[in-house]
Amino acid sequence: MDMTMESCRTFVEVLASNAPAPGGGGAAALVGAIGTALGNMVGSLTVGKKKYAEVEEEIIALKAKCDDLQKQLLDQVEADEVNFLPLAKAYGIPKDHPDRDKIMEEATIIACSTPMKIMELCCEAIDCIAVFAEKGSRLAVSDAGCGAVCCKAALQAASLNVFINTKTLKNRDVAEEMNRHANVMLNKYGQLADEIFNTVKAGFGQ
């Protein structure tokens, strides 16, 4: 079931249940989409305003990119469920099954793929939000700050869904490469999101 087609209330209720999905990955994808949309809203409130005519072309391009990022992030809600369920099933394989380790390894790598994708999309979104915060309508700059906070939270949440799985991988070369890539994104874009938030906050004299 594509949970993005359900109401917010239903999503939260299923999230709180013992259903295997959505979980942290699906929640991260939704939060990332919301954060991206908040930045995109700043763009929407900027386009068409004479005061921002000089940056309108750039903002329009960013809005188109964020439209795509929002869609991709929402798509990851279902993708996370699809890619996690094989691992959930693999845990039920008897420990004496000759192919259990191989099946577990393959399923774990697949389970890592969606949260890693969510992280990558959130990084792109934070880059966009940085521009919206700098050049977009001052009347909506708080929404850019909110968007940065949401995308950082999604980035961090998705990373935990990578790390919980890479910890169990037998192939440590693959695991460490995934960990390295995730940590690079966390460090760079977590810092950028903080900078956006702090700059927006400072603009309010806080």
Residues 68 and 40 sit within 8 Å (Cβ to Cβ) = no
Helix, strand, coil tally for the chain in percent (to 5): 80, 0, 20
Summarised one tens digit per residue, pLDDT across range 16-62 is 999 888 999 999 999 999 999 999 999 999 999 999 999 999 999 99
Buried b (16+ CB within 10 A) or exposed e, 41-65: bbbbbbbeeeebeebbeebeebbeb
Domain presence at residue 2? no
The count of structural domains within the chain is 1
Residues 114 and 25 sit within 8 Å (Cβ to Cβ) = yes
Domain presence at residue 5? no
Task: Please identify which residue in the block is written with the tokens 């191989």.
Answer: 102
Q: What is the pLDDT of residue 2?
A: 86
CATH number at residue 60: 1.20.120.680
| Residue 113, both tokens | 């793929």
- Rounded CA gap, 158 and 112, in Å? 9
Is the per-residue pLDDT at 1 higher than 80? no
Domain presence at residue 121? yes
Structural domain of residue 69, as residue ranges? 24-202
Please, what is the average pLDDT of the chain?
Answer: 96
Residues 148 and 129 sit within 8 Å (Cβ to Cβ) = yes
